[in-house]
Structure 1
Amino acid sequence: MTNQVQIWTVIAGLGIGTLFIRYSFLGLLGNRELPEWFLRHLRYVGVAILPGLIAPLILWPEATGGSPDASRILATIAAITIGVWKRSVVGTVVAGFGVLYAVQYFTG
């Protein structure tokens, strides 16, 4: 078993490490003008990361033991359709959640 001193030492060490990582970007680069080529590439980070975060939740959900199910596929289709059609983040989220919970409710 670990004692209280070890736990608080680990917490403090992780906090200091996080502070240094964040300061390296915000403190050192925060007041500088970034090059245009860097900003142009930075625009695509979210688009590149989101599919990698979302696809496993749709195709291999933990709730079903890793096998795809109809409710998540239908919710994905509804969310993509509303997102492309209305261009509304709130509408996309509401449509996805609504279809997911409706299909799960009616199928048991």
Structure 2
Amino acid sequence: MSQSTLEIWAIIAALGVGTFLLRFSFLGMIGNRKMPDWVLRHLRYTPVAVLPALVAPMVVWPQATGGDFDLPRVLAAAATVLLGYLTRNVLAAIGAGAVTLYAMLYLLG
């Protein structure tokens, strides 16, 4: 590592302050105020946008295979999305994805 200990701690402190200010801007400054309806309408879609963004890299470039395409993971993701869409049940979708992943890893190696 080419950075000194002081530089590393300065970066950690700066990131901590930045994270605090970002969260404070929503919780501390807006806190008790009523937000406009258009903001609430947009915030409703935040989890729906964030969750696929977190999961997609693990499906498309899985760390377990060194970033190579892996059919069991793609099939598990497809089963999860399909069952989630059809049943609107999160636990059933997660269960279907887990069962599909382990079954495909067992069958396909």
User: TM (normalized to structure 1)?
Assistant: 0.76
Deviations 1:78-103 (A, max 9, x none): 11221122211111111101111121
Tell me the C-alpha RMSD between the 2 structures: 2.3
Deviation at 1:12, TM superposition (A): 5.6
Give the CA deviation at 1:10.
6.2
Distance in 2 between residues matched to 1:14 and 1:46, nearest whole Å: 24
What TM-score comes out, normalization by structure 2 length? 0.76
Task: Provide the residue aligned with 1:103 in structure 2.
Answer: 104
Amino acid aligned to 1:98: V
**2:26 corresponds to which residue?**
25
Identity among equivalent positions (%) equals: 49
Name 1:59's counterpart in structure 2. 60
SS of residue in 2 equivalent to 1:93? helix
Query: How do residues 73-92 of structure 1 correspond to structure 2 at under 5 angstroms?
Result: 73-92=74-93
Which residue number corresponds to residue 42 of structure 1? 43
Residue 95 of structure 2 is matched in structure 1 by 94
How far apart are 1:30 and its partner, in Å? Answer: 0.8
Q: For residues 69 and 12 of structure 1, what CA distance do their matches in structure 2 show?
A: 39
Task: Flag structure 2 segments of 5+ consecutive residues without an equivalent.
Answer: none
Please identify, of 42-51 and 54-63, the stretch whose mean Cα deviation from structure 2 is larger: 42-51
1:41 corresponds to which letter in structure 2?
H
Q: Distance in 2 between matches of 1:54 and 1:14?
A: 24
- Aligned equivalents of 1:27 and 1:36: distance in 2? 20
Q: Matched residue pairs, number?
A: 107
2: CA distance, partners of 1:18 / 1:52: 20
Q: Secondary structure at the match of 1:29?
A: coil
